[in-house]
Amino acid sequence: MFKLKLLTPNGAVVKSLECSELIIPTVRGEINVLPNHTHILTELSTGVMTVKTKDGNKSYHVTHGLCKILKDEVSILAITSEPAEKIDVERAKLAKKKALEKLSGKDSLTNIDLIKFQRKLQRAEARLRAGYLHQ
């Protein structure tokens, strides 16, 4: 077993959760963390993080950040995160629709706006995946 900390600028989402397995989305693909995992520091990607605990599986939406694995502790520092059971699926659907409308090409977007709406789309899709996992 190892401990998980999941932190955002708005506070701790998870402070010290006992885990036996963890799947983390990184910029290089998903990594599967098991007890005694090698020490790493990697960049987090937007996606769904799945945690296996003695009480069952839990899912969390995470958006960009860092992941540190050191000894028996995994620390996730994410821009945003929320547990799957707290995701408002209808709100996520609306956010996805709005992002797709902006990215449709009807409006002229600056490079900064293009990146912003691509990230909003990624976040909405990840929230939807996590939300559907909980249902």
Residue 113 confidence (pLDDT): 87
User: Could you tell me the two tokens for 60?
Assistant: 């969390």
pLDDT, tens digit (0-9, with 9 covering 90-100), for 6-52: 999 999 999 999 999 999 999 999 999 999 999 999 999 999 999 99
Say yes or no to pLDDT of 134 above 70.
no
* Mean of pLDDT over the chain: 91
Average pLDDT, integer, range 83-110: 87
Reported as a pLDDT band with limits 50, 70 and 90, residue 88 is confident
Question: Helices marked H in the chain — which ranges?
Answer: 89-103, 111-134
Torsion of CA 8, 9, 10, 13, to 10 degrees: 10
Residue 135 confidence (pLDDT): 60
Q: Identify the structural domains of the chain with CATH numbers, from first to last.
A: 2-85 (2.60.15.10), 88-134 (1.20.5)
The DSSP element (H or E) to which 46 belongs, if any, is none
Residue 132 confidence (pLDDT): 77
pLDDT, tens digit (0-9, with 9 covering 90-100), for 117-131: 888 888 888 888 888
Give the integer Cα–Cα distance in Å for 83 and 86. Answer: 6
